[in-house]
């Protein structure tokens, strides 16, 4: 079948690609409708690797997807042919200790779409375990359903933060994950969220999401503004979603005593970590690696109007223009947040 293939660093092709997937009794065959372009997809395209994951041979890209069920395995009862679905892209070993503990995202043997050497979903159809395939509610579009994957990261972060009703939060970084984390924090009960970034257009979009105050990371006195607005107390939660080393090193400054920091973004290099700054506030520090058990909640929040991801879907491309879509995503204009490819 035709697929978008990363041949090697900096080289993409849209070509026929032989891939063998066997349909099992607990699997479904899905026609792909929409695939979002993730920052990790772009990073593999531009750098050829992320940490220990190296593109050593041609790999199909894409992992944020929605589609329609074409065929169900003989033991699948909760999904039907013709049903609209979205797919969780990471498949763990069900017998592993993390999986048995319910923390399957931490399974080192997880097979995650478009993470070398596992092929992604930018192709007409896939075979996927039914247990990691979820029915899309009637009032949720296929484009929105393809946003469940990045939204799941934000919801997992809000869960790790143990957000309480009325909490005030700061999100550093107004990219897709940062903005979805801000929406997740609000839906979890935060009364207000501050969002920082260096791109003003993204901050203006953040302003439109609800009880959000955007702050420019360079030109504004972020810590001063937060401390002034909170009577010198600080925010209850800091979500570091930028992956920027400077932002990550300063997470304890705007935090209130006994507050929580959640590291969401992944810095490319080790960061400075001020242990004393964390100790004097008895800060609780959490980390996020993907997500677990989040897709049903994400879909329910979308269907019930608790979270609206539509404003973040800024650019759409046809499958035949996939290469141009990635060139666009690699040099995305300031006003763009999420680009999607429609098959």
Percent share of the chain, pLDDT over 90: 97
Tokens of 188: 């979890």
Where along the chain do its domains lie?
2-147+309-342, 154-287
Phi, psi of 8 (to 5 degrees): -170, 175
- C-alpha distances (whole Å) from 88 to each of 5, 46, 129 are 21, 25, 9
Q: In which band, very low, low, confident or very high, does the pLDDT at 239 lie, cut at 50, 70 and 90?
A: very high
| pLDDT at site 248 | 93
| Candidate from 80-94, 175-189, 230-244, 263-277 with smallest mean pLDDT | 263-277
Whether the predicted pLDDT of 127 surpasses 90: yes
Helices (H), the chain: 39-47, 97-100, 142-145, 148-161, 176-188, 200-207, 222-229, 245-249, 275-279, 295-304, 322-330
Model's pTM, two decimal places?
Answer: 0.95
Q: In which band, very low, low, confident or very high, does the pLDDT at 52 lie, cut at 50, 70 and 90?
A: confident
Q: In which band, very low, low, confident or very high, does the pLDDT at 323 lie, cut at 50, 70 and 90?
A: very high
E-strand stretches of 39-108: 49-50, 53-54, 59-60, 64-72, 84-87, 90-91
Q: In which band, very low, low, confident or very high, does the pLDDT at 181 lie, cut at 50, 70 and 90?
A: very high
Q: In which band, very low, low, confident or very high, does the pLDDT at 312 lie, cut at 50, 70 and 90?
A: very high
The domain at 154-287 falls in which architecture?
Answer: 3-Layer(aba) Sandwich (3.40)
Mean pLDDT of the chain: 96
Whether the predicted pLDDT of 268 surpasses 90: no
The predicted model gives 33-54 an average pLDDT of: 93
Whether the predicted pLDDT of 269 surpasses 90: no
Tokens of 324: 């141009």
Task: List, in sequence order, every residue forming a beta bridge with 3; answer none if it has no partner.
Answer: 15
Name which CATH class applies to 2-147+309-342. alpha beta
| pLDDT at site 253 | 97
């Amino acid at each position: 079948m035709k697929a978008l293939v990363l041949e090697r660093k900096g080289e993409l092709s849209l070509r026929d690609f032989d891939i063998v997937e066997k349909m099992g009794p607990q699997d479904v065959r899905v026609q792909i409708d929409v695939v979002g372009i993730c920052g990790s997809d772009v990073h593999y395209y531009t750098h050829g690797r992320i940490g220990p994951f190296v593109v050593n041979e041609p790999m199909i890209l894409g992992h944020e997807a929605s589609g329609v069920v074409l065929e169900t395995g003989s033991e699948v009862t909760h999904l039907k042919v013709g049903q609209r679905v979205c797919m969780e892209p990471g498949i763990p070993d069900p017998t592993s200790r993390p999986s048995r503990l319910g923390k399957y995202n931490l399974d080192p043997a997880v097979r995650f779409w478009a993470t070398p050497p596992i092929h992604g979903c930018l192709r007409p159809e896939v075979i996927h375990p039914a247990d990691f395939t979820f029915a899309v509610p009637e009032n949720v579009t296929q484009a929105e359903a393809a946003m469940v994957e990045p939204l799941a990261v934000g919801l997992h972060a809000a869960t790790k933060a143990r957000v309480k009703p009325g909490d005030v939060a700061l999100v550093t970084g107004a990219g897709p994950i940062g903005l979805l984390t801000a929406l997740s924090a609000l839906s979890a009960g935060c009364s207000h969220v501050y969002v920082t970034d260096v791109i003003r257009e993204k901050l203006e979009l953040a302003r439109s999401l609800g009880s959000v105050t955007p702050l420019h990371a360079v030109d504004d006195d972020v810590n001063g503004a937060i401390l002034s607005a909170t009577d010198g107390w600080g925010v209850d939660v800091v979500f570091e979603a930028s992956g920027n080393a400077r932002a990550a090193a300063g997470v304890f400054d705007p935090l209130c005593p006994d507050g929580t920091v959640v590291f969401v973004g992944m810095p490319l290099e080790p960061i400075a970590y001020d242990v004393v700054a964390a100790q004097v506030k008895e800060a609780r520090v959490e980390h996020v690696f993907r997500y677990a058990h989040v897709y049903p909640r994400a879909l329910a929040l979308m269907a019930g109007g608790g979270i609206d991801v539509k404003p973040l879907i800024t650019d759409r491309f046809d499958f035949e223009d996939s290469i141009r879509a990635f060139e666009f995503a690699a040099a995305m204009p300031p006003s763009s947040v999420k680009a999607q490819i429609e098959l």
